[in-house]
Amino acid sequence: MDRHHARLERRVDRIEEKLPGRMARALRWLRDPQATWVRVPSGILLIVGGVFSFLPVLGIWMLPLGLILLAYDVPFLKAPVGRTLVWGERRWKEWRRRRRAATSS
């Protein structure tokens, strides 16, 4: 396993830990190597849905989820998606820290 795949796995593991039971099981199943036949079309559909986020029901949240799913099967996406997940997690922690500090003062 290369370092980009390992980074992606660690970040998606952390996301999976925070999801409710049913969603975590679905994500775990999609990450299984035998689920490629479902993962690739699902990733593509989520990306297309994210592009059309101006429509009801569809949302921009679909775009990153689709990219994460595709990164498991498209090698050149592993590095940028993994880096983006690390960056997003850091930004989220900083935002929460600033918010907590503003609330407590």
In this structure, what token pair is assigned to residue 92? 């989220």
pLDDT of residue 96: 92
Identify the residue whose tokens are 């679909």.
Answer: 62
Q: 78 with 8: CB under 8 angstroms?
A: yes
pLDDT of residue 59: 83
User: What is d(CA 14, CA 48) in angstroms, rounded to the nearest whole number?
Assistant: 25
Q: 47 with 67: CB under 8 angstroms?
A: yes
H or E element at residue 20 = none
Taking only the tens of pLDDT, the chain with its 105 residues reads 688 889 999 999 998 998 899 989 998 999 998 999 999 999 999 999 888 887 777 788 889 889 999 999 999 999 999 999 999 999 999 999 999 988 886
Q: Where are the domains of the chain?
A: 3-104
The SS3 assignment for 52 reads coil
